[in-house]
């Protein structure tokens, strides 16, 4: 199923939660809504689900206007962060609940419900656990039960709101690998909300980066990571360093020092952004960023160096034989960087 959001806006009193959102989800696509708290991603998901209604704009499913349809009329499968399983029901009863409470004329026979539950439990790899209570399952297993329950009503769209937020890091990583494979097998159009950039990049076909109720960029994981539209996306999607500079005469200038970084089309206050792994230690005479080492620690076969660059805390990753000492003065030379217009006032940059 395809989804189209046209000029969606939503306010809560004087607070603008969403303003002029335009977005498309393709049939069978796994779309991630990524952003910090307050960016509007959950509000947008709830509008798609029919749990909220926009003040302005239109929601289309397969080119049909469904803006004012109820949740039940939209045939949505919804998976929440906290599972929302019935504690007194077995796993099988939880999965079949949505079918068993349908109006009599729409309710499948009990035998058909049992068969559908078995099918779904096998699909989420919990076929032997149908008789257990939720309290007897791990967090990852409970989330898979919640997913099976969402699929039981044969939804045309699957929505997931921070589905892994209540799980520890190891389980979260394992479950998102499983979910990506599951989506590929089922092929259902899916949209999930997350504030975890690693999660979004690993699971989604495309990522929608949001901030302050607006969309900053939409693209594949590699597009938003390697070609961010602005400094916010660069900083939020992956770890980054952001250093205030001045763009003048086609170059970036840091405290009067001309860096070997072109500033095409920019003039005035700017932000120099680079990833920790896209920098090296400068040799004497190199045009780089003077910094003071705060901390150096081994990390996955390399050394991670925390440093202060003109009052800004940053990080770089070096080979183990290059590890500097805390307090040491170093020069950081970005090997791959981007320049963006400064988000702060012009006098925040030091020329």
* DSSP of 131-162: TS-GGGS-HHHHHHHHHHHHHHT--SEEEEES
What would the mean pLDDT of 23-30 be, rounded to a whole number?
96
Contacts of 249 by beta carbon, 8 Å cutoff, 6+ apart: none
What would the mean pLDDT of 104-120 be, rounded to a whole number?
89
The reported pLDDT for the residue numbered 92 is 94
Parallel/antiparallel/unpaired status of strands 15-25 and 338-341? unpaired
- Where b means 16+ CB within 10 Å and e means fewer, 156-180 reads ebbbbbbbbeebeeebbeebbebbe
What would the mean pLDDT of 158-182 be, rounded to a whole number?
82
Cα 152 to its chain centre, rounded Å, is 26
The reported pLDDT for the residue numbered 179 is 85
- List phi, psi (to 5°) of 188: -85, 135
- List phi, psi (to 5°) of 10: -150, 130
Where do the H-state alpha helices sit in 2-106? Answer: 41-49, 71-74, 91-100
pLDDT tens digits along 249-291: 898 999 888 998 988 889 999 999 999 999 999 988 888 999 9
Rounded to an integer, what distance in angstroms lies between the CA atom of residue 338 and that of residue 230?
Answer: 9
Task: Retrieve residue 8's tokens.
Answer: 């969606």
The reported pLDDT for the residue numbered 17 is 97
Residue 166 pLDDT class (50, 70, 90 cuts): low
Rounded to an integer, what distance in angstroms lies between the CA atom of residue 92 and that of residue 129?
Answer: 8
Domains of the chain in sequence order: 3-232 (3.40.50.300), 241-348 (2.40.50.140)
Mapped onto helix, strand or coil, the DSSP state of residue 110 is helix
Residue 50 pLDDT class (50, 70, 90 cuts): very high
| Statement: residue 167 has pLDDT above 80 | no
Element (H, E) at 113: helix 110-123
Residue 106: CB atoms within 10 A of its CB come to 7
Spell out the SS3 assignment of 158-220.
Answer: EEEECCCCCCCHHHHHHHHHHHHHHHHHHCCCEEEEECCHHHHHHHCCEEEEEECCEEEEEEC
Residues of the chain above pLDDT 90, percent: 62
Q: Who wins on pLDDT, 142 or 293?
A: 293
Query: What DSSP designation does 322 have?
Result: G
Residue 89 pLDDT class (50, 70, 90 cuts): very high
Rounded to an integer, what distance in angstroms lies between the CA atom of residue 225 and that of residue 221?
Answer: 6
């Amino acid at each position: 199923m395809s989804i189209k959001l046209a000029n969606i806006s939503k306010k809560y009193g004087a607070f603008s939660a969403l303003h002029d959102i335009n977005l498309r989800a393709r049939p069978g696509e796994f779309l991630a809504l990524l952003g910090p708290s307050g960016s509007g991603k959950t509000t947008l998901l709830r509008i798609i689900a029919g749990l909220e209604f926009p003040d302005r704009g239109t929601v289309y499913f397969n080119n049909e206007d469904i803006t004012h349809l109820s949740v039940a009329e939209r045939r949505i499968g919804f998976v929440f962060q906290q599972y929302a399983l019935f504690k007194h029901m077995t796993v099988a009863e939880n999965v079949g609940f949505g079918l068993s409470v349908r109006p009599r004329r729409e309710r499948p026979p009990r035998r058909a419900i049992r068969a559908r539950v078995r099918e779904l439990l096998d699909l989420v790899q919990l076929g032997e656990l149908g008789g257990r209570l939720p309290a007897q399952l791990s967090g990852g297993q409970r989330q898979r039960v919640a997913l099976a329950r969402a699929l039981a009503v044969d939804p045309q769209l699957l929505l997931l709101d921070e589905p892994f937020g209540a799980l520890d890091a190891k389980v979260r990583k394992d479950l998102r690998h499983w979910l990506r494979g599951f989506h590929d097998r089922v092929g259902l159009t899916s949209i999930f909300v997350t504030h975890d950039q690693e999660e979004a990049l690993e699971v989604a076909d495309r990522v929608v980066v949001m901030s302050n109720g607006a969309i900053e960029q939409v693209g594949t994981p590699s597009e938003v990571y390697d070609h961010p539209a602005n400094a916010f996306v660069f900083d939020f999607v992956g770890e980054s360093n952001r250093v205030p500079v001045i763009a003048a005469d086609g170059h970036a200038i840091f405290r009067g020092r001309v860096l070997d970084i072109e500033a095409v089309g920019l003039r005035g206050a700017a932000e120099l952004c680079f990833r920790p792994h896209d920098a090296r230690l400068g040799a004497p005479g190199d045009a780089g960023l003077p910094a003071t080492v705060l901390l150096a620690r081994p990390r996955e076969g390399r050394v991670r160096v925390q440093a202060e660059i003109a009052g800004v805390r940053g990080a770089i990753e070096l080979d183990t034989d290059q590890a500097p000492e805390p307090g040491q003065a170093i020069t950081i030379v970005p090997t791959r960087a981007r320049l963006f217009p400064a988000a702060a006032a012009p006098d925040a940059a030091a020329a």
